[in-house]
């Protein structure tokens, strides 16, 4: 069974990006990072949340990029922003000051409490893979009012124990984890529960891709199929990035 | 009056082996030409400070200029890994690289503390993360007024900070606009600062979102049009995203990287 009503091919990244975009509401102030979050936030502005305010940690507040930026510091962001601030001001006043409604995070590893690793695979001193590191993630996780984590579901990613704790999970549990198989949210005690499956995905698949015994939420639902419009808009966005 | 100096002279005069050097510019206005000059002059044992090492520190690290890196995000934005940085950390090639690793908020506040001539900056964050136990420049402190536990980051004071800006006037005042990163903080935190600029003009006409660094905060101004490429200077150029993508392949292999650096940096004096 296809994940879309139109039965077109859709990539895992597209599925995650579209479901992340659906989480955003008009008027929300959204801190956007590189990769799928960037696409998701810009997609939301083309769909149900045209008034979603995009903030990039490079210092652009209220950016309205015409094409999808590759980096968070592309000229298009600065040129269309309501305000530009220094990086110190961005982190101290806007992120640290608690003025971000939704922060996006990705990770190489996530644990059952939604703590994240973007630093090393293997030990810190002798890493098997050296990843980019923290960037803005620890403060976004600590200071945003809610967090959307976008991450592919695999046993290498959903691990019992992180190799390195780069960012702690949201302290009030306002987190949603969106994967290519479904969606998870923390339960009352902070442990992630599977709350939705994408169309055509069975629970067993999710459990197999999770490195611990996965808890299932009280009312496990199914995410609505991706619409042709969502897919068209996303692909148009991506094409705009390639056109440069 | 300003006497703009050659970049070669400015680097030779101000940067010595073993110094702590910051080349700043957050995606925008990264001083690539100055970094290439450091490579051509064969500087060694440098402690390099940058929030986002980016391609320029990937190149300096791969060419063996660095002993230590102080940073907060070591990726190629929107593309993936910095392969020379990874090779140095994972395999010690071409030399072992000591790392001091912050979050963005931490390193930004460390620069701000340096600019303010304070011993440390303070922020929420770091708490509970493994960054703290691997970075002795971060410590937990109690707020003297509320008792809240906060994080202190030790000030960063580079010997020399280097920035790229759009313009300088004939007095040597430096103007930059657009995404301003931490350049003001890096310049004011440093013992000396070098600015490369796109253009030298009779009179500065600062557009909105401008930063001006007065002449007396800058030790040397160098006229280097295109000196931020493949980063960019708003109003003069756009980010060369194709090159950022292409770097992934160029830098993956040690030999190919070496060939590229020889052809485009070592045997070239114009911005690559």
- Count of domains in chain B? 2
Here the tokens at position B243 are 């090159």
Is residue B70 located within the same domain as residue B96?
Answer: yes
Q: Write out chain B residues lying below 8 Å of A167, CB-based.
A: 129
- Band of pLDDT at residue A74, cut at 50, 70 and 90: confident
On whether residue A242 sits in a domain, the answer given is no
A244 contacts in B (CB within 8 Å)? Answer: 241-242
What is the mean pLDDT of the segment spanning A141-145?
A: 93
- Looking at residue A1, its pLDDT comes to 43
Q: How far apart are the first and last CA of chain B?
A: 30
Min Cα–Cα distance to chain A from B69, Å: 13
Q: What's the whole-number mean pLDDT along residues A143-160?
A: 97
CATH number of the domain that residue A30 is part of: 3.40.1080.10
H-only helix segments in A47-86: 75-80
Of the listed ranges A165-174, B43-52, B81-90, the least confidently predicted one is A165-174
- B12 and B94 housed in the same domain: yes
Scanning every residue of chain B, which has its alpha carbon at the shortest distance from the alpha carbon of A76?
Answer: B238
- What is residue B65's predicted lDDT score, i.e. its pLDDT? 98
Looking at the structure, do residues B93 and B210 belong to the same domain, yes or no?
A: yes
pLDDT value of residue A2: 44
Share of chain B above pLDDT 90, in %: 93
- Probe site for chain A from B70, B130, B177 (most A CB atoms < 10 A): B130
Average confidence (pLDDT) over A150-166: 97
Same domain, B138 and B43: no
The whole-angstrom separation of Cα A24 and Cα B57 is 36
Q: Please write the tens of the pLDDT for every residue from A77-104.
A: 888 899 999 999 999 999 999 999 999 9
pLDDT of residue A7: 54
For chain A, how many structural domains are there in total? Answer: 1
Is the ipTM reported for this complex over the cut 0.90?
A: yes
In this structure, are B52 and B115 located in the same domain?
no
Residue B272 maps to a domain: no
CA dist B43 and B37 (Å) reads 9
Q: Are residues B76 and B120 in the same domain?
A: no
CA–CA dist A31, A65 (Å, integer)? 14
* CB spacing of A244 vs B241 below 8 angstroms: yes
Confidence band for B272, pLDDT divided at 50, 70 and 90: very low
Do residue B129 and residue A244 have CB atoms under 8 angstroms apart? no
The Cα of A109 is separated from the nearest Cα of chain B by a number of Å equal to: 14
Q: Do residues B98 and B164 both lie within one domain?
A: yes
Contact B241 A130 (CB under 8 A): no
Of the candidates B4, B74, B37, which has an alpha carbon nearest to the alpha carbon of residue B162?
B37
| CA-based nearest distance A165→chain B, Å | 5
Closest by Cβ to B105, choosing from A77, A139, A244: A139
Task: Tell whether A157 is covered by a domain.
Answer: yes
- Alpha-carbon radius of gyration of chain A: 17
Tell me whether residues B86 and A130 touch, CB distance under 8 A: yes
Q: Do A130 and B90 touch (CB under 8 A)?
A: yes
CA distance A194 to A216: 5
B180 CB neighbours in chain A (<8 A) are 59, 84-87
Q: Is the same domain home to B128 and B85? A: no
Using CB atoms, pick whichever of B71, B81, B179 lies closest to residue A78.
B179
Which of these ranges, A168-172, B41-45, B78-82, B189-193, has the smallest mean pLDDT? A168-172
Note whether residue A244 is domain-resident: no
Rounded Cα gap, residues B169 and B191, in angstroms: 22
Tell me, yes or no, whether B129 and B87 share the same domain: no
Q: Where a domain ends, among B154, B188, B217?
A: B154
Torsion of CA B76, B78, B79, B84, to 10 degrees: 10
Which of B134, B154, B174 is at the close of a domain?
B154
pLDDT for A71: 75
Examine the domain organization and report whether B54 and B79 are in the same domain.
yes
Q: Which domain does B208 fall in, by range? A: 7-102+157-266
B contacts of A79 (beta carbons < 8 Å): 234
Is B271 among the domain residues? Answer: no
What pTM was estimated for this model as a whole?
0.94
CB atoms B179 and A124 under 8 Å: no
What is the nearest CA distance from B235 to chain A, expressed in angstroms? 9
Instruction: Record the tokens describing residue B25, joined without a space.
Output: 């510019």
A-chain CB neighbours of B209 within 8 Å are: 78, 83-84
Q: The tokens 């390193």 sit on which residue? A: B107
Closest CB from B51, B77, B131 relative to A71: B77
Residue A105 CA to residue A118 CA, distance in Å, equals 10
Residues B62 and B139 in one domain: no
Chain A hits for B71, CB-CB cut-off 8 Å, are: 133
Cβ contact (<8 Å) for B101 and A134? yes
Domain that holds residue A53: 12-237
Q: Are A132 and B81 in contact (CB < 8 Å)?
A: yes
**Tell me: the pLDDT tens digits for B94-147?**
999 999 999 999 999 999 999 999 999 999 888 889 999 999 999 999 999 999
What tokens appear for A179 in the block? Answer: 């994967």
Q: Does B270 score more than 60 pLDDT?
A: no
Distance to chain A for B27, nearest Cα, Å: 5
A178-226 pLDDT, tens per residue?
999 999 999 999 999 999 999 999 999 999 999 999 999 999 999 999 9
Catalytic residue positions of A? 57
Would B238 be classed as within a structural domain?
yes
B-chain CB neighbours of A72 within 8 Å are 27, 77-78
What are the distances in angstroms from CA B42 to CA A53, B61, B255, B258?
A: 46, 12, 19, 14
B2 falls within a domain:
no
Same domain, B162 and B244: yes
Is B28 in contact with A70 (Cβ distance < 8 A)?
no
- Residue from B49, B83, B85, B103 whose CB has the most chain A CBs within 10 Å, to mutate: B103
Judge whether residue B41 has pLDDT over 80: yes
Mean pLDDT, chain A, integer? 92
């Amino acid at each position: 069974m296809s994940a879309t009503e139109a039965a077109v091919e859709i990539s895992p990244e597209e599925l995650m990006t579209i479901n992340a975009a659906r989480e955003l509401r008009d008027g929300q102030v959204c801190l956007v990072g590189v990769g799928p979050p960037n696409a998701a936030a810009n997609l939301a502005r083309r769909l149900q949340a045209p008034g979603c305010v995009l903030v990039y940690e490079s210092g652009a507040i209220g950016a309205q990029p015409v094409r999808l930026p590759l980096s968070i510091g592309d000229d298009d962001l600065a040129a269309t922003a309501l305000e530009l601030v220094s990086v110190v001001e961005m982190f101290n006043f806007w992120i640290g000051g608690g003025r971000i409604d939704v922060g996006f995070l990705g990770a190489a590893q996530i644990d059952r409490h939604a703590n994240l690793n973007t630093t090393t695979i293997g030990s810190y001193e002798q890493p098997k893979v050296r990843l980019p590191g923290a960037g803005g993630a620890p403060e976004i996780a600590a200071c945003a009012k809610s967090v959307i984590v976008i991450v592919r579901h695999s046993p290498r990613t959903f691990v019992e124990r992180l190799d390195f704790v780069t960012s702690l999970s949201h302290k009030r549990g306002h987190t949603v984890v969106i994967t290519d198989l479904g969606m998870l949210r923390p339960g009352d005690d902070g442990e992630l529960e599977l709350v939705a499956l994408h169309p055509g995905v069975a629970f067993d698949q999710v459990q197999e891709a999770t490195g611990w015994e996965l808890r299932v939420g009280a009312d496990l639902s199914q995410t609505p199929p991706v619409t042709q419009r969502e897919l068209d808009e996303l692909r148009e966005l991506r094409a705009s990035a390639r056109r440069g | 009056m300003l006497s703009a100096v050659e970049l070669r002279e400015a680097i030779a005069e101000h940067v010595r082996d073993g110094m702590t050097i910051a080349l700043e510019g957050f995606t925008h206005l990264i001083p690539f030409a100055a970094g290439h000059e450091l490579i051509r002059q064969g500087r060694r044992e440098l402690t390099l400070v940058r929030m986002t090492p980016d391609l320029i520190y990937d190149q300096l690290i791969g060419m063996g200029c660095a002993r230590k890196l102080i940073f907060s995000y070591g990726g190629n934005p929107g593309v993936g890994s910095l392969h020379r940085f990874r090779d140095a950390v994972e395999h010690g090639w071409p030399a072992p690289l000591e790392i001091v690793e912050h979050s963005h908020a931490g390193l930004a506040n460390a620069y701000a503390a340096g600019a303010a001539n304070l011993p440390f900056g303070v922020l929420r964050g770091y708490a509970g993360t493994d960054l703290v136990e691997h970075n002795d420049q971060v410590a937990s402190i109690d707020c003297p007024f509320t008792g809240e536990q906060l994080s202190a980051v030790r000030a960063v004071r580079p010997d020399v900070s280097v920035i790229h800006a759009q313009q300088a006037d004939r007095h040597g005042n430096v103007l930059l606009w657009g995404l301003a990163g931490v350049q003001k903080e890096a310049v004011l935190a440093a013992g000396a600062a070098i600015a490369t600029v796109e253009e030298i003009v009779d009179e500065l006409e600062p557009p909105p979102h401008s930063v001006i660094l007065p002449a007396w905060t800058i030790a040397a101004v160098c006229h280097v049009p295109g000196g931020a490429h493949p980063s960019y200077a708003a109003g003069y150029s756009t980010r060369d995203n194709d090159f950022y993508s292409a770097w992934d392949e160029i830098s993956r292999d040690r030999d190919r990287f070496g060939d590229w650096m020889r052809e485009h940096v070592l045997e070239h004096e114009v911005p690559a």
